Amino acid sequence: MYRSQTLALKYFSAAITLFGVMTITGLISAYYYLNPDFLLGILPFNIAKILHINTLVMWLLMGFMGSIYWFLPAELGRETAGIWAAEILFYVFCAAVAVVAVVFIFIQYGGSNEAALWFINQGRKYVEAPRWAALGIVVIMVVFAYNVIGTAIAARKTTGIITVLMIDLIPLILLYLIAFPAISNMSADLFWWWWLVHLWVEATWEVLIGCIMALALMQLLGTSRRIVETWLYIEVALVLGTGILGLGHHYFWIGTPNYWLTIGGFFSALEPLPLLGMVVHAVYDAGAQHMKTTNRPAFYWMMAEAFGNFIGAGVWGFMITLPQINLYAHGTQWTVSHGHFAFWGAYSCGVISVLYLVLQKTRNLAFVDGPLWKWSFAALNLGLVGMTGALLVSGFVQAFVERAIGGSTLNAFISGQENAWFVDGMVARFLLALVFTAGYVVLVWDVLTLGRRAPAVAAVAPAQ
Amino acid sequence: MSGLATLETGLLLGLYALLAGIWGVLWGLAQFRQTQICGRSAAAAYGLHVLAALTIILWTPLGFGWKSLIVGSSLVFLAIPPMTWRLLQHTHQKEGSEHDRQPSQYSSRIVARL
């Protein structure tokens, strides 16, 4: 096994751990809606929410990096360039995440000064990590880019997938630099901040997961390189074509000119079109393989990715993307419902799929199956879909009672929060979050014991 | 737009996109199964999608431009499954050839220049 692949295993371990932290902090955040006095004076809601969202970003990022470190040496036929730096930075990354989490939990707030920006919280949603940690993330991403590009140069070859990946890493790093400036004008600040948030999630990350899925498909289904590369180019063109100007749907109510209403609505309404193509592709692959594969969990999680992406990002996004609807749905639980489903479908399922592929290689399993992955697959997906359904109901109440009828006053906000449908939605969300958590526990158990508890699986040749 | 119209329009838009997805899945299944039930189910799903589009056009307070976008999207949704399928069949025709599994020579030259 290459050192790069050993590093990949560490990244996957860290990713799954952070997935757990994300789940627990999500559960706590959900419980605040049922009992607002919970952890009063100890851990406020906003800190739990910061931890929930930031660990989501970090576990997916670590999952992506683990996937690339796993596939890269096999793809280019040599050890990853600068692997020693990547190995050191993995521990730095983990330590930085732990320190930032401790600061968020125990210090929580700082003053309105530079020191607070540097050491406590940058105060920008989704990228709250203090500036020293954000700088650390830039260093880690630069070294990661060097690992990929340097390996291609050292190997004196590349592939279509690696070329797309190398190009993608440049905006991935540059866009993160937007996390740093402290712009005092809120409209200008949000204008640029959305470049980071939207163009990471709906452009660079989409391309990154596209590359990872292309590499995984070759390994999982033996699909030829020409096919996956052709589809990767088509997907990248369509996703970027609709996704870049789809940025406009975040510019609706932040003080930007009116033409963004048309641009944002139009381009984001086109976003489900390429996603339908991906669903048809998934049906084709499933039919061509007769649903037969040597790694059933990886295959099913990959299918879940295609369908979840269409429903979460496409269907749920389409409901709220036109400005007329978004005027009322913006910032309600309706949006939260879309966010949960879209992240799950677009990214989380893909990372879990790759994790099972990696386990098959590292544990020398000829065939991966069994009851545990089915339980975790069912509980995680049922929990997630149930949560998004419950959040949708609560979001409808907010959009209707609080926004459309009440006019977004404080009284209307209280009316919305006290509405029986909103409260029931929040209770249902918490209960289904428990189902999701159970699914996570089973997933971890399966990952830890796969190949060690089933004597029926046959050993195959050692992994590369 | 009134509160009720917001909810109705949002739900209709979601249903519209969901039915497009169901149409795509059933159309794909119909290609494998070649049974009447699959073909008819796919046609029914697209019919329901058109019904959702018509409801949006006739019943919601969206402007002319947005309604035109809905009509245009429905036409594209109709074309995506067969187009994707043909392209998939075309790309899979030569699957398995030895040359196919080699990295692209063109991209190798780019890195050599670097």
Q: pLDDT per residue over B39-77, tens digit each?
A: 899 999 999 999 999 999 999 999 999 999 999 999 999
How far is A301 from A353, CA to CA, in rounded Å? Answer: 5
- What pTM was estimated for this model as a whole? 0.91
**Which of chain B's residues have a Cβ under 8 Å away from the Cβ of A322?**
9, 13, 62, 66
**Which of chain B's residues have a Cβ under 8 Å away from the Cβ of A223?**
95
Q: Which CATH superfamily is domain A1-182 in?
A: Cytochrome c oxidase-like, subunit I domain (1.20.210.10)
Q: What's the distance, Cα to Cα, between the start and end of chain A in Å?
A: 5
Flag if B111 and A157 touch (Cβ within 8 Å): yes
**Which of chain B's residues have a Cβ under 8 Å away from the Cβ of A266?**
69
How far is A183 from A181, CA to CA, in rounded Å? Answer: 6
Closest CA to A340 of A432, A212, A208, A213: A432
Domain boundaries, chain A: 1-182
Flag if B3 and A403 touch (Cβ within 8 Å): yes
Q: How many CB pairs under 8 A join A and B?
A: 162
DSSP state of A185: S
Q: pLDDT per residue over B3-30, tens digit each?
A: 788 889 999 999 999 999 999 999 999 9
How far is B91 from B93, CA to CA, in rounded Å? Answer: 6
- Across the interface, of A158, A281, A400, the residue whose CB is closest to B6 is A400
Closest CA to A163 of B109, B96, B91, B95: B109
DSSP state of B34: -
Task: Write out chain A's pLDDT in tens, 464 residues.
Answer: 899 999 999 999 999 999 999 999 999 999 999 999 999 889 999 999 999 999 999 999 999 999 999 999 999 999 999 999 999 999 999 999 999 999 999 999 888 888 999 999 988 888 899 999 999 999 999 999 999 999 999 999 999 999 999 999 999 999 988 888 778 898 999 999 998 888 888 889 999 999 999 999 888 888 888 888 888 898 888 888 888 888 888 888 899 999 998 998 898 888 888 888 888 888 888 887 777 788 999 999 999 998 999 999 999 999 999 999 999 999 899 999 999 999 999 999 999 999 999 999 999 999 999 899 999 999 999 999 999 999 999 999 999 999 989 988 999 999 999 999 999 999 999 999 999 999 999 999 999 999 887 554 444 444 43
CB distance from A272 to chain B under 8 Å?
Answer: yes
CB distance from A160 to chain B under 8 Å?
Answer: yes
Q: What's the distance, Cα to Cα, between the start and end of chain B in Å?
A: 57
Instruction: Give the Å distances, CA to CA, from A158 to A171, A220, A442, B1.
Output: 20, 21, 39, 54
**Which of chain A's residues have a Cβ under 8 Å away from the Cβ of B17?**
272, 314-315, 318-319
**pLDDT score at A277:** 87
Do residues A134 and A122 touch, judged by C-beta distance below 8 A?
A: yes
Residue owning tokens 């190398």: A166
How far is B96 from A383, CA to CA, in rounded Å? Answer: 40
CB distance from A74 to chain B under 8 Å?
Answer: no
